[in-house]
Amino acid sequence: MSEHFEIHPTVEAVAEDIASMEIRGAATIADAAADALAVQAAESDADSPDRFRAELRAASRRLVETRPTAVSLPNAIRYVLRGMEGSDVARLRASVTDSAAEFRSELDQAQENLGRIGANRLRDGDTVMTHCHSTDALSCVEAALDQGKEIEAIVKETRPRKQGHITARWLREMDVPVTLVVDNAARRYLDDTDHVLVGADSIAADGSVINKIGTSGLAVNARERGVPVMVAAQTLKFHPDTMTGHTVEIEMRDEREVLGAEAAEEIGDLTVENPAFDVTPPRYVDAIVTERGQFPPESVVTLMRELFGDQHGGEPWEE
């Protein structure tokens, strides 16, 4: 039987917030998870290096089990745990807090660099159409504004959780003119759109983009209308397991997000399904913009090999 290890209340709270989507979006989830591990390390009262490592692994498992699709979460945890080294608790503690701080600053830097690269694709006067809420995608808009370009946005509402409202708010804070549309209106407004601009929760080795449900339909429609699709995704979103044939698990969320109890009662017996993400095949994507440059989706595997080539074997949080 596995021993019980102390999980810090902050880790518990962050795990609950990720599961309930109080903390959401792939980059933000990764940032919060790394920070939670730093708290676990800083406040651990483990009396031996073995106990300290076991506590960190237990906290990592708690975090990694919250949501399955955004690979930024396990990638963040791998980064922090791989930095854990030292022969005594004090050194181990310092290595984890340093590693988490380094991860978080690299994440910010990557998003800024990615933004500048993505902004080069946007011209003065362009209109972008967004889906869901992606900090990587909005970083491209912010950088374009910094370059003195005027950008407008058509923002899809993004049922069922309406993350489009968050995007609309962020864009308005940047003074970008925003037109909010329901998801079903997207094709009609593609005629007024210069770029579809979305983020990603995971990028597979074949260049498929896993993002909020509705991204794939939008991309297919955009291709039909001749509107380029740009995916803003720092390399933290690259999914290492897909290099060895694994597929990305699509999270199924509570049906109540789609249909409340009262409405369900009124309608009668029915099945409601609520997948949170979908897969856009690479042929519908024009460019994946990362902090390392922009790539045609089919070529990301080369960069993935460079980044993950030497990472084999078990997960660092396994017992």
| Footprint on this chain of ligand RUB (rule: CB under 6 A) | 24-28, 70, 132, 134-137, 163, 199-201, 211-212, 276
Tell me how far, at minimum, the Cβ of 76 lies from ligand RUB, in Å: 11
Tell me how far, at minimum, the Cβ of 120 lies from ligand RUB, in Å: 18
Q: At what angle are helices 89-119 and 72-82 packed, to 10 degrees?
A: 140
- Torsion angle, CA of 199/201/204/209, rounded to 10 degrees? -40
How far apart CA 175 and CA 170 sit, in angstroms, is 9
Ordered DSSP codes for 236-271: GGB-GGGGGTPPPPPPB--GGGTS-HHHHHHH-S--
Q: Is 30 or 41 the residue whose CB approaches ligand RUB more closely?
A: 30
Q: Is 25 or 297 the residue whose CB approaches ligand RUB more closely?
A: 25
Rounded to a whole number of angstroms, the distance between the first and last alpha carbons of the chain is: 11
**Residue 108 a catalytic site member:** no
Q: Which residue type is seen at 194?
A: D
**Residue 201 a catalytic site member:** yes
Tell me how far, at minimum, the Cβ of 306 lies from ligand RUB, in Å: 21
Q: Is 219 or 276 the residue whose CB approaches ligand RUB more closely?
A: 276
Tell me how far, at minimum, the Cβ of 165 lies from ligand RUB, in Å: 11
Ordered DSSP codes for 57-111: HHHHHHHHTS-SS-THHHHHHHHHHHT---SSHHHHHHHHHHHHHHHHHHHHHHH
Q: Is 30 or 304 the residue whose CB approaches ligand RUB more closely?
A: 30
Tell me how far, at minimum, the Cβ of 21 lies from ligand RUB, in Å: 6
Per annotation, catalytic residue among 31, 35, 126, 132:
132
Q: Is 40 or 135 the residue whose CB approaches ligand RUB more closely?
A: 135
Among 297, 303, 142, CA closest to 228: 297
Per-residue exposure over 133-147, b if at least 16 CB sit within 10 Å of its own CB, e if not: bbbbbbbbbbbbbee
Per annotation, catalytic residue among 31, 35, 201, 286:
201
How far apart CA 14 and CA 239 sit, in angstroms, is 23
How far apart CA 54 and CA 195 sit, in angstroms, is 47
Query: Shortest Cβ contact with ligand RUB: which residue?
Result: 199
What are the catalytic residues?
A: 132, 201
